Amino acid sequence: MPRQIPYGHQSIDADDIAAVTDVLHSEWLTTGPRVPQFEKTLCDFTGSRDAVAVNSGTSALDIAVAALDLPPGSEVITTPFTFAATANAILYNDGIPVFADITADTRNIDPEEIRKKITSRTRAIICMDYAGHPCELAEIRSIAQEHNLRLIDDACHALGAEYNGKRLGTFADMTIFSFHPVKPVTTGEGGAVVTNDSTLAGRLRLLRNHGIDRDVPHSPEQGWAYDMTLLGRNYRLTDLQAALGTSQMRRLSKFLERRNQIAALYREYLQDVPQIVLPHVQNGMYHGWHLFTVLIGKGNRDTVYADLKEQGIGAQVHYIPIYRFSYYRRRFPALVPDAFPVTENIFGKILTLPLYPAMTDDDVAFCADRLRRSIRKTGGSR
Ligand SMILES: Cc1ncc(COP(=O)(O)O)c(C=O)c1O
């Protein structure tokens, strides 16, 4: 069988397997002592006071928006160039997603476009660190402060990425991570919200567990008593997943180093291909390289994608802009692609190449070589 290279893949080693096996021999399968242990690891790594681990990045986004307790119909400004979950979290909580266009170089939300979208109904901003490149966090935070808006950073791509020498996790009111297998570390499925705000942390803990509060006054005979104080969900992470997460976190710095090496190799192999635009990294950023994307001359991206696929290379397109989905078009007919010229231009050309820590140098050379050949064959222009 010809070699198959997916765009992303987990790295599981014997320590990970032993950590999960230990849990299987223990008393706890669902949320037990491994979850707070994992949360502490996340706090230590990101420098945030609290971490609330849940069963997916999507769940983390959902309870983060819920924790803000926004009035129904509140507008939340976000990027259209993200995974659907970022904007869906606003809808789950009866908010209205308002999309602001991105910048061409980083594909992150453009602070100037955020300013244009602020109205009297705006209550929050959700930015997203595309591909692992931190967004303009200082500027976005100052916009949020200026307009009294809450800020959520969807850093599902960017655990370990640094903005001006500081890891993501404390720039926004809440920062979101995902532990899906293609992400910087994995728990199978999983996610977390980290925050320095203890009130929000308390709400997040309630929201992930049905809104159940066991800390209620009761007589000794009524040890079973609890209250339900918020409309929560069951988004609990299991100890099996948390043990895997803690074990994976020990190798995160190595994973990031390897991701950076692979990105450098791609750059070296592809820098002289005039039909390709390589990804830009702003000064002062440590890139998480969740995704390595190239822009390919308009018109032949899909041909190149199909050609690579035929050769076992799982290139991808990140992302189909959210306003293009039929659900969003039905619900928000006024949303038109023409309103997002930068996103549309990037969407028409972008292609994600495989990148994950277990890729060998030879895998990277193979993907780069096949991409060069494919571009030569299909001949696009920049
Ligand atoms: C930017 C972004 N936000 C949110 C999510 C949702 O994370 P999960 O798959 O863990 O639910 C993803 C996952 O792909 C993502 O890429």
pLDDT digit string, tens, across residues 184-200: 999 999 999 999 999 99
- Is residue 209 lining ligand 1, measured as CB closer than 6 Å? no
CATH number for the region 14-249 comes to 3.40.640.10
Tokens of 107: 């594909």
Nearest in space to 95 (alpha carbons), one of 150, 54, 143, 172? 150
Domain positions in the chain are 14-249, 252-378
pTM of full prediction above 0.85:
yes
Ligand 1 atom with the smallest distance to the CA of 182 is: 14
55, 58, 293, 322, best to mutate for ligand 1 pocket (most atoms within 8 Å of CB): 58
The residue assigned the tokens 């390897």 is: 258
Tokens of 372: 């060069």
pLDDT value of position 223: 92
Q: How far is Cα 133 from Cα 289, in angstroms, rounded to an integer?
A: 7
Residue whose Cα lies nearest atom 7 of ligand 1: it is: 57
* Secondary structure tally for the chain: helices H, strands E: 13, 15
Residues 78-105 as b/e (b if ≥16 CB within 10 A, e otherwise) read bbbbbbebbbbbbbbbebbbbbbbbbee
pLDDT at residue 380, as a whole number: 53
Which atom, in ligand 1's list, is nearest to the CA of 318?
Answer: 16
Residue 366, H or E segment: helix 361-378
Distance, CA of 336 to chain centre = 25
Cα(58) to centroid(ligand 1), Å: 6
| Residue spans of the chain under pLDDT 70 | 1, 298, 379-382
Separation of alpha carbons 74 and 381, rounded Å: 44
Q: How far apart are CA 152 and CA 50, in angstroms?
A: 15
- β-strands 75-78, 50-54: how paired? unpaired
303: CB partners within 8 A, 6+ apart: 374, 378, 380
pLDDT at 298: 59
For 223-360, where are the alpha helices, taking DSSP H only? 239-249, 252-270, 301-310, 326-331, 341-349
Class in CATH terms, 252-378:
alpha beta
Residue 224 has which token pair? 């079973």
57 C-beta closer than 6 A to ligand 1: yes
